[in-house]
């Protein structure tokens, strides 16, 4: 890409390549990337401003090209300024960019500009301005079906809810964002979500869950090489280790984090690291060193107009003064922190400032103020860490684990299916062939059954006919027997009558003898 830039013969190629190359190298070489963005911006301004003369007039296509890249360059340069703590200049660039994008109907660009503007508003505690913009950006991205950008907006909205103490909503939106990033395998998005979820669980006192998210994030970031994300993860892990009394390990991580923040030029990150280093020294009873780091963080937060960092640094400084018995100084710092936090709506910072003021009021025997600040502290603490919130945290965690496992099971099942597909196809073919054979067999069998049925029917008819014939034959035979019996009876009667007749008629010899006697008598 660098070679293409050096060999580019026309301005449009230089502008396009500068923007693309800058976005590619920003994670590793932020200063070089920002120079490329500035170069592209200057070239776009030059082309658009000089088109008034007929000699330099741009075609419709060229004007569209440079206007679109002008907006992109403004956005990218604004981001560089924001990271360096120049939030006023960054906001100016973002608003100019947004105006152009609305004019050219660049929906994707509008959403990104809204997103960048809300980052600055959040740092300044202007949540009432930030939320409508984040919601507008989310709506645009949902219409565009830009999954990665939707996840980013969900993450931003979750951050707002977290700072307002609406932990249930914060967890819900963070988990939605994480799920989408895992779906599209957006490593940078996954890292951001893991960082934020860890912060929520740390705020709930669940360090085990916080460690789980951050350590997973660190394993992902080692592969991506994103220095700023790695610095944030090391910072957060160090803070948790410090809470558990592992001070040496915490300091080692914090100094590594600090160096990375300096390399990428992220001033607010440097201030964050300074505060955590100061916290370790404070816990080690090294108040002088702690105060030095807290003061350094305060100076940076003022220069970048980071209201969240500013109020947090003031509370840290107040804590050191309390430990040193310097209650008037402590009261001044804690009161300033409370004013900033209330104006911005930072629930956690309000809680911290109220707790410190309660302790101070007790020591200076201002009991009325002590009661008021204690009540405020309890109110803020309960809004962040009440029972329903803890249950919601557990529920969201379990829901995420369940859905993740269900997805993993689904993937594993899909892989097993792929392995078995060939075998199943073969088996399917064999089964199909067997079924065809079975169909043929069943068809033949069916014909045999039909034929057998026909034959059986014929057999039944024959049997029936045979039965009728047998019956008729039997009837004839019976009739014959009856006739024969009648004939026999008749013959017997005839024979009997004949015998009677024969018995009454003299036989021949007797008749002859009688004739002879008669003849003899007549002769005499």
C-beta pairs of 5-12 under 8 Å, 24+ apart in sequence = 11/43, 11/47, 12/62, 12/65, 12/66
- Is residue 254 within 8 Å of 277, Cβ to Cβ? yes
- Is residue 269 within 8 Å of 232, Cβ to Cβ? yes
Percentage of the chain modeled with pLDDT above 70: 70
Residue whose C-alpha is closest to residue 159's, from 180, 148, 174: 174
Q: Which residue has the higher pLDDT, 233 or 54?
A: 233
Predicted pLDDT of residue 95: 96
Whole-angstrom distance, CA of residue 222 vs CA of residue 374: 44
Token pair belonging to 46? 């030059």
Whole-angstrom distance, CA of residue 92 vs CA of residue 98: 10
List, for residues 409-448, the tens digit of each pLDDT value: 444 445 555 545 555 555 555 556 555 555 555 555 555 4
C-beta pairs of 80-83 under 8 Å, 24+ apart in sequence = 80/30, 80/33, 80/34, 80/37, 80/38, 82/116, 82/119, 82/120, 83/30, 83/264, 83/265, 83/266, 83/267
Predicted pLDDT of residue 387: 45
47-51, 59-63, 493-497: range with highest mean pLDDT: 59-63
Whole-angstrom distance, CA of residue 197 vs CA of residue 154: 13
Query: Is 90 exceeded by the pLDDT of residue 301?
Result: yes
- Band (pLDDT 50/70/90 cuts) for residue 321 is very high
Task: For the chain, give percent helix, strand, coil, nearest 5.
Answer: 90, 0, 10
- Band (pLDDT 50/70/90 cuts) for residue 163 is confident
Sign, CA dihedral 4-7-9-10, equals positive
Q: Which residue has the higher pLDDT, 135 or 2?
A: 135
What DSSP letter does each residue of 140-163 carry, written as one string? Answer: HHHHHT-HHHHHHHHHHHHHHHHH
List, for residues 76-128, the tens digit of each pLDDT value: 999 999 988 898 999 999 999 999 999 999 999 999 999 999 989 988 888 88
- Band (pLDDT 50/70/90 cuts) for residue 57 is confident
Token pair belonging to 26? 């920003």
Cα angle 79, 182, 165; round to 5: 65
- Is residue 57 within 8 Å of 256, Cβ to Cβ? no
- Is residue 214 within 8 Å of 236, Cβ to Cβ? yes
3 state SS of 8? coil
Residue 491 CB neighbours (<10 A): 11
Structure-token match 């957006």, residue found = 186
- Is residue 327 within 8 Å of 360, Cβ to Cβ? yes
211-215, 335-339, 351-355, 479-483: lowest mean pLDDT where?
Answer: 479-483
Whole-angstrom distance, CA of residue 472 vs CA of residue 468: 6
Whole-angstrom distance, CA of residue 376 vs CA of residue 360: 14
Residue whose C-alpha is closest to residue 157's, from 192, 140, 133: 133
């Amino acid at each position: 890409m660098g070679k293409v830039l050096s060999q580019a013969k026309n301005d449009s190629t230089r502008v396009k390549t500068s923007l693309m190359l800058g976005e590619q190298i920003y994670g590793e070489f932020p200063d070089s990337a920002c120079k490329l963005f500035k170069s592209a911006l200057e070239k776009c301004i030059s082309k658009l401003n000089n088109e008034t003369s007929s000699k330099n007039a741009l075609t419709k296509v060229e004007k569209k090209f440079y206007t679109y890249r002008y907006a992109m360059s403004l956005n990218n340069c604004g981001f560089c300024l924001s990271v360096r703590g120049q939030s006023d200049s960054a906001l100016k660039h973002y608003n100019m960019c947004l105006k152009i994008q609305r004019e050219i109907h660049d929906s994707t660009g509008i959403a990104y500009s809204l997103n960048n503007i809300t980052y600055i508003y959040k740092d300044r505690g202007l949540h009432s301005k930030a939320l409508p913009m984040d919601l507008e950006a989310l709506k645009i991205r949902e219409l565009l079906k830009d999954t990665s950008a939707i996840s980013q907006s969900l993450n931003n909205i979750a951050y707002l809810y977290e700072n307002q103490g609406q932990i249930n909503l914060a967890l819900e939106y963070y988990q939605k964002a994480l799920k989408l990033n895992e779906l599209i395998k957006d490593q940078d998005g996954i890292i951001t979500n893991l960082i934020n979820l860890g912060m929520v669980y740390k705020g709930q006192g669940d360090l085990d869950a916080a460690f789980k998210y951050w350590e997973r994030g660190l394993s992902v970031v080692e592969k991506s090489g994103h220095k700023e994300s790695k610095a944030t993860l090391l910072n957060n892990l160090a803070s948790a280790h410090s809470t558990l009394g592992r001070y040496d390990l915490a300091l080692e991580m914090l100094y590594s984090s600090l160096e990375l923040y300096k390399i990428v030029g992220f001033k607010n990150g440097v201030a964050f690291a300074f505060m955590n280093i100061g916290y370790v020294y404070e816990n080690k009873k090294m108040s002088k060193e702690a105060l030095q780091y807290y003061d350094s963080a305060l100076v940076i937060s003022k220069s970048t107009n980071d209201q969240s960092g500013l109020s947090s640094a003031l509370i840290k400084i107040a804590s050191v003064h309390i430990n040193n018995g310097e209650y008037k100084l402590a009261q001044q710092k804690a009161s300033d922190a409370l004013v900033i936090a209330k104006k911005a709506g930072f629930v956690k910072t309000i809680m911290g400032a109220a707790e410190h003021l309660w302790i101070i009021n007790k020591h200076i025997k201002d009991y009325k103020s002590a009661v008021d600040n204690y009540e405020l502290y309890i109110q803020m603490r309960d809004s962040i860490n009440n029972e329903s919130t803890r249950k919601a945290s557990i529920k969201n965690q379990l829901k995420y684990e369940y859905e993740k496992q269900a997805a993993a099971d689904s993937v594993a099942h899909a892989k097993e299916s792929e392995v078995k597909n060939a075998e199943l196809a073969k088996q399917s073919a064999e089964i199909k062939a067997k079924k065809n054979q079975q169909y043929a067999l069943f068809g033949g069998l069916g014909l045999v059954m039909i034929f057998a049925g026909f034959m059986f029917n014929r057999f039944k008819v024959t049997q029936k006919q045979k039965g009728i014939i047998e019956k008729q034959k039997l009837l004839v035979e019976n009739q014959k027997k009856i006739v024969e019996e009648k004939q026999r009876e008749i013959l017997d009667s005839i024979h009997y009558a004949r015998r009677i007749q024969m018995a009454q008629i003299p036989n021949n010899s007797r008749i002859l003898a009688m004739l002879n006697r008669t003849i003899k008598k007549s002769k005499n």
